[in-house]
Amino acid sequence: MNSQTATTTSTTITTTALVPPAAGERVRGTVLCLIVHDELELRLRLAGLVRRAMPKIDADTVTRAGFDAISIERLRAYVAVMFIIEFSPPEASASSLASLKRLHEQAPNLPIFVFARGGNERTAARTMKMGASDYWPIHSVIVGELCSALQPLIEPAPAPAGTSGASGAAADRWRQPEVAGYTMMKKIAQSSAASVYLARNDEFPQPVALKVEAITGQHVVSEADRQRFTKECEILSKLNHRSIANVLDFGTTEDYLYLALEYFPCGSLRERLKHPVSEADAVNYAHQIGEALQIVHAARVVHRDLKPSNLMLTNENRLVLIDFGSARTQFTTNDLARSGDCTGTPYYVCPEQIEDRDPDARGDLYSLGVVFFEMLSGSLPYSGKTLAEILAAHRGAPVPRLPEQLSAYQPIIDRLLAKDPKDRYGSAAEFLDALDSLRTELMTRKPSKPQRSA
């Protein structure tokens, strides 16, 4: 086994190919992960990034050959294993993926992170299927996201019977909650009502997004909630449209309501909006959202929580609507007294929902208007320093103006963001007609290219 050693007093990172200490042999308070790659410099860079994201976690690093020589009993002493995998050329990844797959089969509850060089959405799905808990292109790892992934590895939790130390507690957290047939890989979203996990099921070829709603605890599910949940899942599972996420499975247990949806490794429109969106893309996305709403509303379902994080992107630049009615949040007058930070739904909520009136399909069109304005202008139509300011703006502030070069879309924005639902488009189909008419008009306005003289 090859051995390489480097030390740095500033980060106290152990970078050796020697076998790790057993759980009981660790220095008190030390939590270790293992980084696997043949280049020492790259291993050190990732080790430094891990420590930046989570100072309580140190790293051992090892070559792939060294990793293959470590016993599975020793590997279980780590809270996570991190593979840096080369996907270009394609054959370069074969041996690393084989090691990843073997590790997952031998230690299915041990978190495995993949950092890819030259990968894409297909390689992400492939590594997830083989057992990876998370995947990042190594050139674009965001420290905050890595911190969120590492946090569950060190949070205190009761160790299951027969285990001890941080690794046992971490493994137990990664197994929760328990839904028959599913193995939880990582938590990818959280709300007051439900959690969403990346999960595996042997019946499906790819990982799924599994939404789990606890029946007891802070959010108590009533019999009416069960009936509503089951009815809505049945309706959605029958909707066959490319702009609506496929419902793969749903059901209820003694402890949970659960819904399995297709998983989208490309992320959501929220991530896309971190960068400027072209006028053409904004119009294209708005049209796709309108098509999805048309199908959903025809099934007598109102989404009630339309926002960029509920619009997933495919590798074909297609939007897919998810999260139907799972969080039917009603904003009451008490909410107007709150202050502090707020993100997500309050920026996209319609005025009638703020006033504790159940919105109809036109409420979804209002939220579409917020998203469309944000895509076109690069900013939200209504904002504020507190929740009260944001909600008050939705209820009373005038509809903001688009930049002059985009003013042709202002009449559509005005209709979508009308305070009174009666002043909005009556349906998604009506909105789509207006958008298509404007696109045709704008195309005819474009000056033709001058003819070249002979």
Which sequence positions are flagged as catalytic? Answer: 305
Q: Which residues contact 4 (CB under 8 A, 6 or more apart)?
A: 15, 16, 17, 40, 63
Contact (CB, 8 A) for 309 and 321: no
In degrees rounded to 5, what are phi and psi of residue 115?
Answer: -115, 115
- Looking at 107-247, list the stretches that DSSP marks H as alpha helix, in order from N- to C-terminal side: 121-130, 143-150, 165-175, 223-237
Measured from the Cβ of residue 353, the count of other Cβ atoms closer than 10 Å reads 23
Sign of CA dihedral 151, 157, 159, 165: positive
DSSP codes joined into one string, 238-285 = T---TTB--EEEEEE-SSEEEEEEE--TT-BHHHHTTS---HHHHHHH
Contact (CB, 8 A) for 156 and 141: no
Q: Which residues contact 241 (CB under 8 A, 6 or more apart)?
A: 291, 292, 295
In angstroms, the Cα distances linking 224 to 215, 221, 228, 230, 237 are 12, 8, 6, 10, 20
Contact (CB, 8 A) for 331 and 293: no
> Which residues is 86 bridged to in the sheet?
117
Q: Which residues contact 17 (CB under 8 A, 6 or more apart)?
A: 1, 2, 3, 4, 5, 61, 62, 63, 66
- Cα–Cα distance for residue pair 168/176, rounded to 1 Å: 13
Sign of CA dihedral 399, 404, 405, 407: positive
The tokens for 243 are: 């702009």
155 φψ region: left (φ > 0), alpha (ψ -120 to 50), beta (else): beta
Examine residue 207 and say whether the peptide bond preceding it is cis (omega within 30 degrees of 0). Answer: no
- Cα–Cα distance for residue pair 382/84, rounded to 1 Å: 42
